[in-house]
Amino acid sequence: MEGLAALGKRVYLFPVIGVLIGVLIGAIGHLLGLFLPSGIAAVGVIVSLYYLTGINHLDGLADFGDGVVAHGSREKKVSAMRDVSLGIGGVIFCVIIVIGLFTAVNEVLEGAMSSAGVVGSGAMGLAAGLNQGGSFLMVMLASEVCAKQAMLTISTFGKSSHPGLGSIMIDETGLREFGIGLVFSSAVCWVMLAEGGLLLLGSAIGVAFIVLRTANRNFGGISGDVIGATNEIARVVALLVAGVCGGCGM
């Protein structure tokens, strides 16, 4: 509990952790993409991601899904979310996110490794980033930072639905922590992908508010599971935005 309390006081460092994760996964994906078809390389990226980071956030997504699809009062929904058994809601949420992650990683890899990609100065300048050497690393780094800033966002503007490990982070996260994280995240995303990086960051923060609204409606607040789910959803959304923009030559 002392370690968790110390972590709660330094949540503004989450985007820094996102940089470290993004560099590692981006480097692995870039190397795999040089020697393997993008689909196989994408599987390797996903396996590496969860091997290095664990599945706690994915488990939170599963619990979040169970709670959202449960019928009844808020108390019953919270109970379903805290139940250790995996329900169909959790399965569906996780399947959708993993499929989305594979699709996005595959698309970004194809865009980064294809010599036929069009480099332009169109909207947000994202295509230029996707067609430069090592661009997959830049996109992965930006998406991980976006995911961690999304966690800070929902922790800042949400209230705890029930006592637990997540409430420590929620209680310690305020506008100061959010602001520090946002400045750092914006700088990193800009350096990586210019305006395109800010587009990814904006999409991740937007997703955080959508998850927050969903959690408030279903549970009356947020928890550690909801924060973990936000990380998984925001990462996929940021990567999908990168894949769509790169694929459209924007």
Range of the structural domain that residue 241 is part of: 2-247
Domain count, the chain: 1
Residue 108 has pLDDT above 80, yes or no: yes
Read off the DSSP letter of residue 118. Answer: P
Burial class (CB in 10 A: 0-12, 13-18, 19+), 190: middle
Per residue in 52-105, pLDDT (tens digit) is 999 989 999 999 998 988 888 888 888 888 877 888 888 999 999 999 999 999
Residue 199: band (very low, low, confident or very high) from pLDDT cuts 50, 70, 90:
very high
pTM of the complete model beyond 0.95: no
* Partners of 222 in the β-ladder: 160
Give the phi and the psi of residue 222 in degrees, each rounded to 5: -120, 170
